[in-house]
Amino acid sequence: MNFEDNIQEIKDIYTKWLKTYLLNNDEEEALISVYNDLFIKNHFIIDDIMDIFDIHILALKQILKINNDNDKIDWIYIKRANEFFAQFLTLFENYRQVLREQVEIDPLTRAYNRLSLDNVGEKVFNYSLKNKSSLLCVMLDLDNFKHINDAYGHDIGDQVLINVSKILKKNIKQKDFLYRYGGEEFLILLRDINYDEAFPFLTKLKDNLKKIKIKSLDKKITASFGATSLLEDNPISLYEMIKYADTAMYKAKKTSKDKVVFFRDLK
């Protein structure tokens, strides 16, 4: 086997390994499809990987010009392969974080998105259900948001969403999860908290939204909150829990807005 054949063999091994790593990685199918889409169709990862690869190939060529010791050449191949993999894994992990963010993070508000809710939210629900631990699902919808968009423009509307997300993230704990559920809707999963503890917390959260100041906007930001408890309302799935919270939120919206409604009070 000549040098060019060896190079092609190495390329084939790396390519096969990469594909196997991607397809067998413990990720949801949607995330893998994004990997494949960006990796195969756009090639933005391939170019960087080949830059690293070419550096190693150039070094091998220089060594082969001055050294015909096959044992030493084999050792150099192994050493170079290990160095390549080390550099490649660093590169891949960096891209992995970028790709995960592209898939799971809402680009405007920096909250988690619906895909992340399907993945992580489901795991949080199942864990809480299995361990009989408290979990509160909160749905909130910004009041009169369409009017803000229509009267002040979408740029102001975007600023409202960004600032609301910042307030929500600032007030929840690290173990809690914030999602942008839809246009002006946010969903929060609060762990280890019950109804009695939740009311003062959500009331404070609601009032904090009114403190948001945005240039050119002379209206207070308010939201209608609906919440449901895993242990007290006994939903059988995350999506039933979301439905309960959504029902409570619409009750708040239909009455006076800018209020907190619990699903238990609708029974």
**Domain shared by 123 and 171, yes or no:** yes
Total domains in the fold of the chain: 2
pTM tops 0.85, yes or no: no
> How does DSSP classify residue 263?
G
In 3D space, the residue among 139, 123, 121 whose CA is nearest the CA of residue 131 turns out to be 123
Residue 49: pLDDT band by 50, 70, 90 thresholds? Answer: low
Name the one residue in this structure whose structure tokens are 């993230």: 169
Is 109 inside any structural domain? no
In 3D space, the residue among 44, 58, 53, 61 whose CA is nearest the CA of residue 83 turns out to be 53
pLDDT number for residue 30: 37
**Domain shared by 160 and 261, yes or no:** yes
Residue 184 is a catalytic residue: yes
Question: What is the strand order of the sheet 185-191 is part of?
Answer: 177-182, 185-191, 135-142, 223-229, 260-262
DSSP H or E stretch at residue 160? helix 154-171
Report helix, strand or coil for 188.
strand
**Domain shared by 9 and 33, yes or no:** yes
pLDDT number for residue 241: 98
**Tens of pLDDT, residues 60-78:** 555 555 555 555 555 555 5
**Tens of pLDDT, residues 204-218:** 999 999 999 998 899
pLDDT over threshold 80, residue 10: no
69-72: long-range contacts, CB 8 A cutoff, minimum separation 24: none
Q: How far apart are CA 32 and CA 18, in angstroms?
A: 13
Domain of 89, in residue numbers: 3-104
For residue 123, the domain's CATH number is 3.30.70.270
Apex CA 258: angle with CA 186 and CA 209, to 5°? 60
pLDDT over threshold 80, residue 130: yes
pLDDT over threshold 70, residue 11: no
Question: What are the two backbone dihedrals, phi and then psi, of residue 173, each rounded to the nearest 5 degrees?
Answer: -85, 165
**Which one of 184, 185, 197, 240 is the catalytic residue?**
184
Q: How far apart are CA 85 and CA 18, in angstroms?
A: 10
pLDDT over threshold 90, residue 203: yes
